[in-house]
Amino acid sequence: MGKRVLVTGAGSGASNNLIRSLRAGDPSLWVGGCHTDRFVLKASTADSNFLVLASDRPGFAAAVKRLVATEGIDLVIPNNDADVRTIGAAGGPIGRHLFLPRQAVIERCQDKYRLAAFLRARDIPAPLTHPVSDPAAIGAVFRRFPRGSRLWCRLRTGNGAIGAVPVRTPAQALSWIRCWEEVRAVPARAFALSEYLPGRDFACQSLWKDGRLVLAKTWERLSYFGRGNQPTLVSSIAALAKTVREPRVTEVCAAAIRALDPRVSGAFTVDLKEDAAGTPRITEINAGRLSSGTNLLDLTGKHNMAATYVRLGLDEPVELRDEDDAGEDHYLLRDLDSVPALFHADELFEGIQEV
C-alpha cells in the first residue's frame, strides 16, 4: 500500500494548494482531508474527506486519532496554526504520525511578542516590541520607542495581518484597541506595539531534521491579497510573489530556528521585513506548517518542499543538507476563485500584445 497522509483544513485554498504540491512531488500518495465545515470540505481536492470538530473543541484530537487508526494514516499534516497547536499537544498515538517541532517552540512562535523578545535577547534581528498590558498606560508604551516613531499595533497571535494597523499616536492605538474590545471582544492585553519596518517583505520556508537544516527557499512579496480591504495595506498573504536568492535572509532565519531548539525538526515559515537600513528583521514565525503559497516553492527549483516534508516525516532518507534552493525569478499570482498561477520572468511577455 502506498503512503497515506492526512491534511487538515481541507477545502481551503491553503490546503488545496498543499495537496496540489504533494501530488506533483509524489503522485503515488493517497491524501485524505478533514475540516470542521462541511461546505468548505466540499471544495477539497483530497482523495477522501472527513468532517471533524473544530480544533478548539475537545473531540478534535480524538477524531484525528480515529482517522489515523481506521484509515491507516502514515503522516498527519496540520495546515493552520490552530491545528498545529492542538495536534502537537495531543501526543500519544497521534504523536508517532507527526513531523512537528516541540510544543514549547510552537507556543513561543505563536506569540509575536514572546518571539520578538526571545530573538532580541539573543541578538537576532527582530523589531522592538512591547506588550499592551493596560490601555490606560499606552502612552508609557509609546515612550519606550524613539520619539515620533510610526508603530505597528497588532494582535500577538494570528496571521494574515489580523488586527494590525499602523499608528503614530497613543490615541490612534487606543481607539483601534477599544474597537476590537467592543466589537470583537478581544482584550487589550492581546495586542502589542512594534516598530514599523518600511523595507522589502520576505518569507523563508525551511525544513529541519534533528537540528539539521535540510532545505530552504526564499520569496519576496510584491503585492498583497485583499490589500484595499485592509487598514495595514500589507499582509502575509501575497497576491504577487517572486522567488529570490537572499543569503542574509536564510542566515537570519537559520540562526533564529537554531536558537529556538538546537535539535529542532519540522517545517518553519519565517516572515521578515527590512528596516530603514536594509537589515531583514523577523516579524513572525509559523512553526510546524508550510506556507499557504507553498506551490511557489514546490513547483519551482530542484526540490519539492512538500514532498520532502513527507519523506522527512516518514524517516525516509533525504540526502540534502543546508540546501538553499532559490529557483530564482519565478512568480506566483493569486486571486479569488482561481488556481494560483506560476510563471518564470522569461514568460512575462509571451501571449500578450501591448495596445
pLDDT, tens only, 237-259 = 888 999 999 999 999 999 999 99
Confidence (pLDDT) at 101: 97
Q: Is 260 within a domain?
A: yes
Q: Place 2 in a pLDDT band, splitting at 50, 70 and 90.
A: confident
User: Do 317 and 221 have their domain in common?
Assistant: yes
pLDDT in tens, 63-80: 999 999 999 999 999 999
The size of the chain, in residues, is: 355
Q: Taking residues 260-270, report their average pLDDT.
A: 97
In a domain, 92, yes or no: yes
Residues 216 and 338 in one domain: yes
CATH number of residue 137's parent domain? 3.30.1490.20
Residue 23 has pLDDT above 90, yes or no: yes
CATH number at residue 320: 3.30.470.20
Cβ–Cβ contacts within 10 Å for residue 175, how many?
Answer: 13
Domain boundary at 195, 229, 250, which? 195
Domain span at residue 37 reads 4-98
Query: What is the grid cell recorded at 133?
Result: 498590558
Mean of pLDDT over the chain:
92
208 and 260 co-located in one domain: yes
319-337 tens-digit pLDDT: 888 888 877 899 999 888 8
Residues 288, 317, single domain; the answer is yes
pLDDT-derived band at 217, boundaries 50, 70, 90: very high
Q: Are residues 217 and 342 in the same domain?
A: yes
- Looking at 140, 164, 195, which one is the last position of a domain? 195
Which position has the grid cell 490552530? 82
Give the model's pLDDT for residue 100: 96
Count of structural domains, the chain: 3
Q: Which residue has the cell 529541519?
A: 208
Per-residue confidence (pLDDT) for residue 296, from 0 to 100: 93
E strand or H helix that includes residue 86: helix 81-90
118 within some domain: no
Contacts of 279 (CB under 8 A, 6+ apart): 125
Q: How far apart are CA 355 and CA 38, in angstroms?
A: 46
How far apart, in whole angstroms, are the C-alpha atoms of residue 285 and residue 289? Answer: 10
Residues 336, 259 share a domain: yes
Instruction: Classify burial at 229, counting beta carbons within 10 Å of its beta carbon; exposed 0-12, middle 13-18, buried 19 or more.
Output: exposed
Judgement on whether residues 33 and 136 belong to the same structural domain of the protein? no
Q: 313 with 214, same domain? A: yes
Q: Return the exposure string of 10-49: e unless at least 16 CB atoms fall within 10 Å of the residue's CB, then b.
A: bbbbbbbbbbbbbbebbeebbbbbbbbeeebbebbbbeeb
- The identity of residue 277, as a single letter, is A
Distance CA 95, CA 312 (A): 15
Same domain, 332 and 208: yes
User: If we measure between CA atoms, which residue out of 296, 271, 161 comes closest to residue 225?
Assistant: 161
6 contacts 47 by C-beta, under 8 angstroms? no
Tell me, yes or no, whether 180 and 260 share the same domain.
no
Residue whose C-alpha cell is 516598530: 195
